[in-house]
Structure 1
Amino acid sequence: MGENVHTLPYGSWPSPIAAELAAAHDGHPEFVGFVGDEAWWTEPRPTEGGRRTLVRRHADGTEESVLPAPWNVRSRVIEYGGQPWAGTLVDGRPVVVFVHFADQRLYRYEEGGEPRPLTPVSPVGGGLRWVDPQLRVERGEVWCVLEEFTGDGPTDVRRVLAAVPLDGSAAEDRAAVRELAGERHRFVTGPRLSPDGRRAAWLAWDHPRMPWDGTELVLADVTDDGTLTAPRTVAGGPEEAVAQAEFDAGGALLYVSDRTGWWNLYRDGEPLCPREEEFGGPLWRIGHRWFAPLDSGLVAVVHGRGATALGILDPETGEVVDAAGPWTEFAPALAVHGERVVAVGASPRSAYEVVELDARTGRARVIGAEHDDVVDPAYYPEPQIRTFTGPAGREIHAHVYPPHHPGCTPPGAELPPYVVWAHGGPTSRAPLVLDLQIAYFTSRGIGVAEVNYGGSTGYGREYRERLREQWGVVDVEDCAAVALALAEEGTADPGRLAVRGGSAGGWTTAASLTMTDVYACGTIIYPILDLTGWATGETHDFESQYLESLVGPLAEVPGRYAQRSPAEHADRITAPFLLLQGLDDVICPPSQCERFLDRMEGRRVPHAYIAFEGEGHGFRRADTMIRALEAELSLYAQVFGLNPPGVPTLELTK
Structure 2
Amino acid sequence: MTLASREAPYGSWKSPITADMIATQTLSLGEVAVDGDDVYWLEVRPGERGRHALVRRTADGAVSDILPIPGEGRPAYSSRSLVYGHGGGSFAVSEGLVVFVNHSSTGTHPDQRLYRVNPGRTPVPLTPDTGGKHRYGDLSIDRSRNRVLCVREDWRNLKDGQPRISLVAVDIDGQKQTVLMEGRDFYSSPVLSPNGRRLAWLAWDYPCMPWDGCELWVADVDEDGKLLHPRLVAGGSTESIFQPEWSPQGELYFVSDRNNWWNLYRLQGRSVVPVLERKAEFGAAQWSLGMSTYAFISPRHVVCAFNELGQWKLGRLDVVLGQFAELPTPFTDISQVRGGFATAYFVGGGPEQPASVVRLDMESGKPQVLKASSRLPEELTPYLSRCEPLHFPTTELGEAHAWYYPPTHPDFTAPSGEKPPLLIMNHGGPTASASTKLDWAIQYFTSRGFAVVDVNYRGSTGYGREYRLSLYGNWGVMDVDDCANAALRLVQEGKADAKRLVARGNGSGGYTTLSLLAFRDILRCGTSAGGIANLETLTEHSDKFEAHYVDQVLGPLPESKQLLQDRSPCFHIDNIKRSPILFIQGRQDVQAPQRETEEMVRKLRANGVPAAVMLVDGEPYGPRINADIKKALEAELSFYSRVMGLALADTLEPVALEPAPSEPPRR
TM-score scaled by structure 2? 0.92
Q: 1:29 to 1:500 in 2, by over 3 A?
A: same
How far apart in 2 are the matches of 1:273 and 1:129? 37
Q: Indicate if the aligned counterparts of 2:354 and 2:376 stay in contact, CA closer than 8 A.
A: no
Match of 1:356 in 2: 359
Does 2:140 align with 1:134? Answer: yes
Match of 2:286 in 1: 283
Does 2:320 align with 1:316? Answer: yes
Give the superposition deviation at 1:436.
0.6
Which amino acid is the alignment partner of residue 20 of structure 1?
D
The counterpart of 1:111, out of the listed 98, 115, 119, is: 119
Q: Indicate if the aligned counterparts of 2:605 and 2:658 stay in contact, CA closer than 8 A.
A: no
Q: 1:81 to 1:588 in 2, by over 3 A?
A: farther
Match of 1:273 in 2: 276
For the residue of structure 2 that corresponds to 1:636, the secondary structure is helix
How far apart in 2 are the matches of 1:523 and 1:152? 38
- Please give the residue correspondences for 1:116-265 in structure 2 after superposition, counting only pairs within 5 Å: 116-123=124-131, 127-150=133-156, 155-167=161-173, 169-170=174-175, 176-181=176-181, 183-265=182-264
How far apart in 1 are the matches of 2:247 and 2:598? 51
Q: Indicate if the aligned counterparts of 2:144 and 2:196 stay in contact, CA closer than 8 A.
A: no
Aligned-pair identity in percent equals: 40
Q: 1:556 to 1:229 in 2, by over 3 A?
A: same
Deviation per CA, 1:563-583, whole angstroms, max 9, x where unpaired? 110111111122100111222
Deviation per CA, 1:415-460, whole angstroms, max 9, x where unpaired? 1101100000010001111111001101111111000000000000
| Alignment size in residue pairs | 639
Which amino acid is the alignment partner of residue 30 of structure 1?
G
Deviation per CA, 1:544-591, whole angstroms, max 9, x where unpaired? 111112112334332111111011111112210011122233555445
- Please give the residue correspondences for 1:502-581 in structure 2 after superposition, counting only pairs within 5 Å: 502-535=506-539, 537-574=540-577, 575-581=579-585
Give the superposition deviation at 1:238.
0.4
Give the superposition deviation at 1:361.
4.5
How far apart in 2 are the matches of 1:430 and 1:135? 34
Match of 1:86 in 2: 92
Match of 2:296 in 1: 293
Give the superposition deviation at 1:618.
4.9
How far apart in 1 are the matches of 2:364 and 2:16? 40
Q: Indicate if the aligned counterparts of 1:155 and 1:541 stay in contact, CA closer than 8 A.
A: no
Does 2:306 align with 1:307? Answer: no
Q: Indicate if the aligned counterparts of 2:584 and 2:622 stay in contact, CA closer than 8 A.
A: no
For the residue of structure 2 that corresponds to 1:372, the secondary structure is coil
Q: Mark the runs of 5 or more structure 1 residues left unpaired by the alignment.
A: 171-175
How far apart in 2 are the matches of 1:36 and 1:273? 28
Match of 1:341 in 2: 344
Give the alignment's Cα RMSD to 1 decimal. Answer: 1.9
Q: 1:198 to 1:140 in 2, by over 3 A?
A: same
Give the superposition deviation at 1:60.
2.1
How far apart in 2 are the matches of 1:506 and 1:552? 20
Give the superposition deviation at 1:635.
1.3
How far apart in 1 are the matches of 2:576 and 2:273? 53
The counterpart of 2:502, out of the listed 482, 493, 498, is: 498
Q: Indicate if the aligned counterparts of 2:168 and 2:180 stay in contact, CA closer than 8 A.
A: yes
Q: Indicate if the aligned counterparts of 2:537 and 2:592 stay in contact, CA closer than 8 A.
A: no
Give the superposition deviation at 1:151.
6.3
How far apart in 2 are the matches of 1:189 and 1:152? 19
How far apart in 1 are the matches of 2:522 and 2:10? 20
Deviation per CA, 1:359-380, whole angstroms, max 9, x where unpaired? 3444433233376314521111
Give the superposition deviation at 1:630.
0.9
Deviation per CA, 1:228-251, whole angstroms, max 9, x where unpaired? 232221101001000110111111
- Please give the residue correspondences for 1:607-626 in structure 2 after superposition, counting only pairs within 5 Å: 607-626=611-630
Q: Indicate if the aligned counterparts of 1:133 and 1:144 stay in contact, CA closer than 8 A.
A: yes
How far apart in 2 are the matches of 1:617 and 1:642? 27
Which amino acid is the alignment partner of residue 289 of structure 1?
S
- Please give the residue correspondences for 1:2-21 in structure 2 after superposition, counting only pairs within 5 Å: 2=2, 4-21=4-21
Q: 1:51 to 1:412 in 2, by over 3 A?
A: same
Q: Indicate if the aligned counterparts of 2:530 and 2:585 stay in contact, CA closer than 8 A.
A: yes
How far apart in 2 are the matches of 1:245 and 1:344? 20
Q: 1:381 to 1:154 in 2, by over 3 A?
A: farther
Q: Mark the runs of 5 or more structure 2 residues left unpaired by the alignment.
A: 71-75, 105-110, 660-667
Q: Indicate if the aligned counterparts of 1:134 and 1:190 stay in contact, CA closer than 8 A.
A: no
Does 2:651 align with 1:643? Answer: no
For the residue of structure 1 that corresponds to 2:369, the secondary structure is strand
Give the superposition deviation at 1:295.
3.5
How far apart in 1 are the matches of 2:103 and 2:201? 24
Match of 1:173 in 2: none
Which amino acid is the alignment partner of residue 166 of structure 1?
I
Which amino acid is the alignment partner of residue 115 of structure 1?
P
Moved more, 314-323 or 521-530: 314-323
Which amino acid is the alignment partner of residue 263 of structure 1?
W
For the residue of structure 2 that corresponds to 1:625, the secondary structure is helix
